[in-house]
């Protein structure tokens, strides 16, 4: 259940924030928020950092396949545990949020600019990064646990 709740919350917050940006900011407008963050409204019809421009709808298909893959491996029981639920929930919520933009608008609304020269992203992108971090932590935890069990068995 945690997986679905996180995925839904991420998708809702992502879509709401993008809608607010499109309603209240002009394309190309920047608003300083903090010395490390500014809101800069851009539309991205490619992927991360504007790579492969013009392929937004193709990347929507990639997102759908990614979500299907996560759901498949969850059903098989290969993505288990709280950390994995959190990680995959963030990643799926982010993938769905960006896929909605790509399908409906043909572009992704980006507005979060951290520091200079780091590119512009959105809540979905942040969620995907957070999800990857949680999955890495889960895999490390699983590895350490398995190694510990293996060493315990070898001692006996």
**Where in the sequence numbering do the catalytic residues fall?**
110, 125
Angle between helices 123-155 and 2-24 (to 10 degrees): 160
Handedness of CA 36, 39, 41, 47 (dihedral sign): positive
Distances (CA, A) of 19 to 35, 36, 39: 24, 23, 14
Closest CA to 97 of 19, 2, 3: 19
CA dihedral 112, 130, 50, 55 (to 10 degrees): -130
Backbone phi, psi, residue 119, to 5°: 90, 175
Tokens (6 digits) for 105: 């608008």
- How many angstroms separate the CA atoms of 34 and 69, rounded? 38
């Amino acid at each position: 259940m945690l997986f679905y709740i996180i995925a839904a919350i991420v998708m809702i917050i992502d879509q709401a924030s993008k809608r607010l940006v499109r309603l209240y900011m002009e394309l190309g407008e920047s608003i300083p928020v903090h010395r490390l963050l500014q809101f800069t409204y851009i539309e991205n019809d490619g992927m991360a950092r504007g790579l492969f421009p013009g392929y937004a709808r193709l990347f929507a298909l990639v997102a759908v396949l990614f979500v299907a893959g996560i759901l498949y491996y969850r059903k098989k029981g290969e993505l288990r545990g709280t950390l994995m639920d959190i990680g995959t929930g963030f990643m799926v919520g982010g993938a769905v949020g960006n896929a909605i933009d790509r399908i409906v608008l043909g572009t992704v609304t980006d507005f979060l600019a951290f520091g200079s020269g780091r590119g512009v992203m959105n809540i979905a992108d942040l969620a995907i990064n957070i999800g990857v971090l949680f999955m890495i932590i889960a895999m490390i935890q699983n590895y350490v646990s398995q190694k510990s069990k293996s060493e315990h068995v070898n001692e006996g």
